[in-house]
Structure 1
Amino acid sequence: MAFNAKEFVIILCILSLVCAAYMTVLFYKSKKNPMMFYFSLAVVSFNILEMWGFRYGFDWHKAPIELCYFQALALQFMAFLITACGFNYTLQTYRLLVLRLRHELTDSQWKKLYYGFIIAYPVVGTTIVSILALQKKAIKVREFRCDIVYPTWIRVFGYNGPDIILCIVGTYLFGYATILVISKLHRFNSKSFQTRLSCPLDATTPAVESSEPQLNDHIIDIPSDLSLFDEMESKILEVQKDHAVTQASASIDTTNNNNDFSVVAPGTRASSTLEVKVYNYRYNITLNIAIRMVVFICAYLIINIGISLGTIISVVTNTPVSPHVNISDVTGASIGILLFLIFGTTSSVI
């Protein structure tokens, strides 16, 4: 039996469901990114709704018309929710990397905006498109699922329409943040970090002679107007200082009977070795994040263009949506797979 497009989309949908379910658990356990948790949860629900036709052999002509209508509108709601969560993620990233110094809104206010948007946007969008689709009887049976088919212009009020607008805004925000991360990569290089954040001890200063370890006071001050990356640098400094205390304590020369303790000050070869390791570790993490951000923005564009392109062409040409499997179906059935490839193949979840 020939392998057709419908079977291909079904396989994609199953794989997407498994991947999205795995990522839902991963995001839930990590507690690091609630928006992506809701995003993956919405993808799971979207894939389950697409698989509802399994009991009818994906022949929706055999299913009750009410169930067909419900599936079409529920898919609209979940698609709106996926779009809202994805846009919130781009906005959240932009805010953390670019708007961190601007305090017009508090964290709690931003949180209210995030959750308010992922509730209001799907509800309002689904309500509008449902009224129009039911009035015009635009929901028809397609090869893989029920969908809004004709009049095509109604799809513009569904997720296919506002999705393009949010895609443009989200691409700009996330793209800007991605460029910022890439431009800051050199700050996490071991040599540049050592040059910027520390300077050697004064050669004329004798070894510290004290019963308590002393820290290197020659580390330059971090400005008060810290960006996210400056905060990361300051945390590294804290790690270095903590290590300096430990190292100095361990280096006390207790062989001197008159208790004249000789402390090895930070800035020695051992301390420099630790600094290089810390810098390289931070550089690798930042590079990993930058790569994932680039891949995410590419996938974000592909998904949004793939879902909306067919609708735009149909509206411009005033033709019904094809009843057969199209690029929109393939894209919608691949979201969970892309999500896994971006976030599930690394050792950490951002």
Structure 2
Amino acid sequence: MIPDTIIIIALNITLFISLICSIYTAVILYRKGKSYLIAIMSISYAIFSLDVLLSIIWKNKLKDAPYEFCVFQGLLLQYMCYVAIACALCFSIHIYHLLVLRKRTTSPTLQKAYYGFIIIYPIVMTCVITGLSLYYKAIKPRTMHCDIVSPSWIRLFANSGSNLLLSIPGVYLSGRSAYVVYKHLNYFKSSTDMNYGSREQIMSNNTKIGYSSIRPLDPSYQQNDSRESNFYSYRENGYLVINPNSFHQRTNDNSISDLNPSYRRTNNDFILNLDTSRQRQYKSLAANRPTTYLAKINRNYDVTKAAAIRMVLFASLFAFLNLLASTGAVLQIIHKYPIPTNVTSTDWVGGFQGILLFLVFGLPNNWKRFLRKSFVKVRRFLCICSC
């Protein structure tokens, strides 16, 4: 039997690590300007961890703490749980639109709905739980923090009931998204495809011309002539995007040097010419491909495999674990079981949430590659040992 003191110290250390990880994840996502729902969730878990760590002031002997502090700690904890579950539901809806409904971007109306729900729902539920808790004096000390203990039916309006209410649609939406990712995993792009594009996609639209041996244009070659805009449109990922309507106006070898006298073509430079035999060969291959192949290209998702797996894995696990935890808590309330005051598995789950967010969304890419390679090596080693 592990002493309670060791359990409390271990959980406090976990909460402190979760606090640091949550803050780091929120800052990284804010600087990148993406996944604002996860950033808000990270902030909520950072405040959640800090709220529980305030019990260290009284050495986790909250019976010696003022009643006002106990009420403040319990209500702040409930509010952060409301914010986190609201963000989780909005994130499930977001990936459902992205992966199942194939929406490229989130509409402004839906974004406003996300913000409105994340702001209004926690405030309304916190007002309700505050009135009930103060009237019945339901907030009492536990081992790690103050929480709603008795009467237990008030917990139906607390995070236990709200988690159950919002986890059911979250499980459905994230489950549908996970099924789509599993069913169409081959249609998701790799990171290389997102950066450079595939040759099939380049040649099928007949607007980007290039081969793997083409080197980028000389950086000193700048737009110094208005005629240049008629010659090409723009450069994208090392390829020159051609304006087909005006390209044939310039096909001689000196067309590029005429545009900018400071640029001199070398023997290694690639002169774009739509009429070369090699390009005509690629065009014919692209035109004669089976329709199923071209349909497969058009069905590709604009999301990488790693990102899709990461999103659905987090959303599904978060919703499923919250559903299990809230179902158990609601069953305890229905059967009128006493609410445990010691450290439970729910406390550990809450302590690890910030760390989970960091591992899924805040871990640097080089660490991800290192862990992925390590996992592959361990799997190969286990396969060799089993043989």
Counterpart residue number, 1:93: 95
2:41 aligns with one of 39, 44, 57: 39
Q: Which residue identity does 1:185 align to in structure 2?
A: L
Cα gap change, 1:5 to 1:302, in 2 (>3 Å) = farther
Higher mean C-alpha displacement, 23-32 vs 163-172: 163-172
- Identity of paired residues, percent? 31
* Aligned: 1:328 with 2:346: yes
Q: Give the corresponding residue for 1:26.
A: 28
Q: Is the 8 A contact 2:98 2:104 kept in 1?
A: no
TM-score when scaled to structure 1? 0.72
Cα distance in 2 for partners of 1:131, 1:200 equals 63
Amino acid at match of 1:38: I
Q: In structure 2, what is the equivalent of residue 51 of structure 1?
A: 53
* Structure 1 gap ranges (5+): 202-213, 217-237, 256-260, 273-278
- Counterparts in 2 of 1:39 and 1:253: CA distance versus 1, 3 Å: same
**Alpha-carbon distance between aligned partners in 1 of 2:107 and 2:325, rounded to the nearest angstrom:** 33
Q: Which residue of 1 aligns with 2:215?
A: none
* Structure 1 pair 101–299 and aligned structure 2 pair: CA distance change class (3 A): closer
Which residue in 1 is equivalent to 2:114? 114
Alpha-carbon distance in 1 for matches of 2:208, 2:350: 56
Distance, in Å, in 1 between the alignment partners of 2:52 and 2:87 is 20
Residues in 2 aligned to 1:253 and 1:156: alpha-carbon distance in whole angstroms: 79
* Aligned pairs (5 A) from 1:1-350: 2=3, 4-99=6-101, 107-188=107-188, 242-243=239-240, 245=242, 254=253, 263=273, 264=276, 266=279, 286-301=304-319, 303-305=321-323, 307-347=325-365
Distance 1:346-1:262 versus aligned 2 partners, 3 A rule = closer
Is the alpha carbon distance of 1:6 and 1:147 closer, same or farther for their aligned partners in structure 2, counting shifts above 3 Å?
Answer: same
Could you tell me how far 1:95 is from its partner in structure 2?
2.1
CA RMSD of aligned residues (A): 3.9
Q: Secondary structure at the match of 2:340?
A: coil
Kept after mapping to 2: 8 A contact 1:306/1:327: no
CA distance in 2, matches of 1:267, 1:136: 81
Larger strand share, 1 or 2 = 2
- C-alpha separation in 1, matches of 2:104 and 2:359: 33
Q: 1:284 to 1:64 in 2, by over 3 A?
A: same
Asked whether the equivalents of residues 189 and 304 of structure 2 are also in contact (C-alpha less than 8 Å), the reply is no
Range with bigger deviation, 106-115 or 64-73: 106-115
Aligned residue type for 1:332: G
Distance change >3 Å, CA 96–CA 199, structure 1 → 2: closer
Deviation track 1:107-159 (CA, whole Å, cap 9, x = no partner) reads: 22212211110111101111111211222221111011100011111111111
Matched position secondary structure for 2:365: coil
1:302-340 deviation digits (Å, cap 9, x = unpaired): 541464244223213202211101111111111101111
Q: Which blocks of at least 5 consecutive residues in structure 2 are unaligned? A: 210-234, 255-270, 286-296, 369-387
2:15–2:49 CA contact under 8 A, matched in 1: yes
Aligned equivalents of 2:111, 2:301: Cα separation in 1: 30
Residues 189 and 303 of structure 2 are in contact (CA less than 8 Å); yes or no, is this contact kept in structure 1? no
1:176 Cα deviation after fit: 1.6
